[in-house]
Structure 1
Amino acid sequence: MESYQLRIIIADDHPLVVEGLKMRIACTQLELVGVARNSTELVGLLEQHPCDVLVTDYSMPGGEFGDGLAMLGLIRRRYSQTHILVMTMLENPGVLQAIGRLGVSCIISKSDDLSYLVPAIHVAGTGGTYHSPTIRRLTGSGLCDCATERRPRLSTREAEVVRLYASGMGVNEIASQLRRCKQTISSQKCSAMRKIGVIRDSDLIKYAMSVGLISPPG
């Protein structure tokens, strides 16, 4: 009997990550139909090459359609037949849960072994739910991690503002992308800094790196 071959698109702005994913997929019956580095390239690919499963990073700055929740929401609305698997370094439970509320039920952590990738793709292709061990722990379905529990709990919106700010966007740019007024963005940034206990933007960026909201440079 002929097996059903899933068509895959990879979206990630880190070339080494992409190469690792391509090597893993090459050893399977999965069909890789394209690779995108940002949301502009991703939407272009989806227009030209419909796929069964999109394997995408959460944070991919620089694209015309934004990234994070805004990008995932657009894909869910515009390409509803495409299942989404998010690969991320995120460690904020609120943001991870917000991804789930968008209808994205397959999430794996980049800190987990790459062996979780192919099973997650197959589950995503059936419309099922798959969380790698780190994601299960962070969202409360695994064992408690005391270090995580001690971290300040930012709201989903605060975490998204911190992520975008730490990635290099200004308050006005964030307000435009998230469709909120700049006063709201400034307020959410200040609220996040109070919760974290920092007063300098450089420390806010260090925090964003430490919890996986953005990747360290290099």
Structure 2
Amino acid sequence: MGKRVRVAIVDDHPLVLCGLRKALEDEGIEVLVAVSRPSDLLTLLAMTQCDVVLTDYSMPCGGTLDGWRFITSLSSEFPKLSTLVFSEFDDPFLVGSLVQRGVAGIVSKRDHMSELVKAVRVLADGGRYLSPIAHAAHAQFNAQPEFRRFTALSRRQMEVTGLMLCGLSVCETARLLHRRENTVSAQRTEAYKRLGFSGELEMYRFAVGHGLWLERSVSGIEMNRV
């Protein structure tokens, strides 16, 4: 008998949530928690232990903790917990940025369900996993110069840069990461310098010009105001 695998799921679509639970339980994987709001998941994780968190990327009905912000909060509160992103978004910049910031697994909703089951088992054993579609997107990320420059960032710098691209201020970022504001400010400065920019405004303009955005709930509208 294989290792007992325990999973927590969050997805804001009830039918998807139900389908994920059934698919995993049919494979002998225990679903401890299945909720539609990221904030509810964080509350429940404080009271139970699991091996893998399976999460959608964009869940606007879940409140402010969505997308990159939620994943950041999750890793900040539960740093040893493996996160598997199961998302309809599989463009190169998003996938590459998630890998760069240390997300353990990514599976596209266009992949076969067997990929999700395989990913959960790999992550539960402490591994990392990219589905075929996610792997192809990551290869494109590494192949395109405007994307590849972000590989110069450390995991922590990519985390902070992602929050910058989501429009968070130094104060908001510090609060989310439980860090001092001067620490976050220094990390942001080091990040845009490593990316080859003279300042944050230049980085924002580059991101808008190349369609590099990580906030999916607003479809890039806020970024285009820069």
Task: Pick the TM interval, shorter chain.
Answer: 0.5 to 0.7
C-alpha separation in 1, matches of 2:210 and 2:125:
40
C-alpha separation in 2, matches of 1:88 and 1:119:
16
Partner of 1:12: 11
C-alpha separation in 1, matches of 2:93 and 2:208:
17
C-alpha separation in 2, matches of 1:33 and 1:21:
12
Residue 63 of structure 1: CA displacement?
3.8
Q: What one-letter code is carried by the residue in structure 1 that aligns with 2:73?
A: L
Residue 87 of structure 1: CA displacement?
0.5
Partner of 1:27: 26
Q: Percent identity?
A: 26
Residue 77 of structure 1: CA displacement?
2.5
Partner of 1:136: 135
Cα RMSD for the two superposed structures: 3.6
* Ranges in structure 2 where 5+ consecutive residues have no aligned partner: 151-157, 175-183, 185-199, 212-217, 222-226
Q: Is residue 58 of structure 2 the alignment partner of residue 59 of structure 1? A: yes
Residue 4 of structure 1: CA displacement?
2.1
**TM-score of the two chains, using structure 2 as the length reference:** 0.64
Residue 74 of structure 1: CA displacement?
2.1
C-alpha separation in 2, matches of 1:130 and 1:139:
12
Where 1:84 maps in the other structure, the secondary structure is strand
Matches within 5 A, 1:15-164: 15-63=14-62, 66-140=65-139
Q: What one-letter code is carried by the residue in structure 1 that aligns with 2:42?
A: V
Greater than 3 Å deviation, 4+ residue runs? 62-65, 155-162, 174-180, 190-196
Residue 160 of structure 1: CA displacement?
7.5
Does structure 2 retain, via aligned residues, the 8 Å contact 1:158–1:191?
Answer: no
C-alpha separation in 2, matches of 1:160 and 1:98:
11
Partner of 1:168: none
Q: What one-letter code is carried by the residue in structure 1 that aligns with 2:39?
A: T
Partner of 2:181: none
Where 1:140 maps in the other structure, the secondary structure is helix
- Against the structure 1 CA distance between its residues 67 and 93, is the aligned structure 2 distance closer, same or farther, given a 3 Å change threshold? same
Q: What one-letter code is carried by the residue in structure 2 that aligns with 1:100?
A: V
Q: What one-letter code is carried by the residue in structure 2 that aligns with 1:53?
A: V
Residue 65 of structure 1: CA displacement?
5.8
* Ranges in structure 1 where 5+ consecutive residues have no aligned partner: 165-170, 197-203, 209-218
Residue 22 of structure 1: CA displacement?
1.3
Does structure 1 retain, via aligned residues, the 8 Å contact 2:68–2:162?
Answer: no
Q: Deviations 1:110-166 (Å, cap 9, x if unpaired)?
A: 111112111110001112121111111111179x9xxxx8xx96x88999788x6xx
Does structure 2 retain, via aligned residues, the 8 Å contact 1:36–1:45?
Answer: no
- Against the structure 1 CA distance between its residues 33 and 92, is the aligned structure 2 distance closer, same or farther, given a 3 Å change threshold? same
C-alpha separation in 2, matches of 1:195 and 1:79:
33
C-alpha separation in 1, matches of 2:114 and 2:90:
20
Where 1:139 maps in the other structure, the secondary structure is helix
C-alpha separation in 2, matches of 1:64 and 1:56:
15
Residue 64 of structure 1: CA displacement?
5.5
C-alpha separation in 2, matches of 1:26 and 1:138:
29
Residue 106 of structure 1: CA displacement?
1.0
Residue 108 of structure 1: CA displacement?
0.5
Matches within 5 A, 1:197-212: 205=219
